[in-house]
Amino acid sequence: MNLLINCANSQVVGFVVATAGWVLSITSMGHVEWRMWYMNSSSYSTPSLACVGMWKVCMYYYISYFERPTSCHLYTYRDAYLPVSIRVGQHLLLAASILGLLGKVSIIIALRKVFTRIHLRRGICHPFVVSGILNMVASTCILIAVIWNYKSVMNEEGISFPPSFHVPFKPDTQENGNAMLAACLASFMMMLSGLFHLTYKCSLHNPVHPEDFEL
């Protein structure tokens, strides 16, 4: 049994990494700074800065990171004016959060089997493998959303926001925001966690020996 517990130590680390990555994924999904739009217009009706997120856009009429945005507008995937990159990004990030949560549940089940001395190696390894696969798929979903958003910013793509938002179709300049960094880190951590779980040392095909379960 000591062997199984020793083997599971790295999986505990993987669980901690997966949890941190999952939290970052949720945070980045709700963060507004995916695209930073800068407008040089002198008109007061036009914002100086617009932060375009996956679920809302916030406008600043005076660029200052120490002030709250003048106004924010929420949107959903049903809004027809949203570009494909945001629509797909919304679904991918939602899928990643759900898959990450399922992966956490799976690894908790596996660790519980190890530390409660359930002597079935095959039954222990299966949840580790499932968790690894779920975390790696979640990481891939986040990475696709990040790459697509990055490509949209580099191509200076515009968005046809409703006139009531007072945001132009395209800004004078735009760049990637801090949410991209958080999403990249989340993707890396969940991929790393998936590798931890998939490389669990207690192979499904190894026979179970009585000495493995010595206290």
pTM for the full predicted model: 0.81
Question: Taking 60 as the threshold, does the pLDDT of residue 7 lie above it?
Answer: no
Mean pLDDT (whole number) for 164-187? 91
Question: Taking 80 as the threshold, does the pLDDT of residue 64 lie above it?
Answer: no
Instruction: Identify each DSSP E strand in the chain by its residue range.
Output: 35-38, 49-52, 56-60, 71-74, 173-176
Question: Taking 70 as the threshold, does the pLDDT of residue 205 lie above it?
Answer: no
The pLDDT of residue 36 is 93
Selected residue with higher pLDDT from 87 and 207: 87
Question: Taking 50 as the threshold, does the pLDDT of residue 211 lie above it?
Answer: no
The pLDDT of residue 14 is 81
pLDDT digits (tens, 9 = 90+) for 118-146: 555 555 567 788 888 999 999 999 999 99
Tell me the pLDDT band of 8, cut-offs 50, 70 and 90: low
Tell me the pLDDT band of 212, cut-offs 50, 70 and 90: very low
Mean pLDDT over the full length of the chain: 80
Tell which phi-psi region holds residue 156, choosing left (phi > 0), alpha (psi between -120 and 50) or beta.
Answer: left
Contact 174, 140 (CB under 8 A): no
The pLDDT of residue 33 is 92
In eight-state DSSP terms, residue 46 is S
CATH number of the structural domain 2-33+78-160+176-213: 1.20.140.150
pLDDT digits (tens, 9 = 90+) for 13-55: 888 899 999 999 999 999 999 999 988 765 555 668 889 999 9
22's CB contacts (< 8 A; 6+ apart) are 97, 100, 101, 103, 104, 138, 186, 190
Q: What does residue 40 show for φ and ψ, rounded to 5 degrees?
A: -95, 10
77's CB contacts (< 8 A; 6+ apart) are 87, 90, 91
The pLDDT of residue 201 is 55
The pLDDT of residue 199 is 75
Contact 8, 152 (CB under 8 A): no
Residue 106 C-alpha from the chain's centroid: 18
Written as six digits, the tokens of 141 are 């979903």
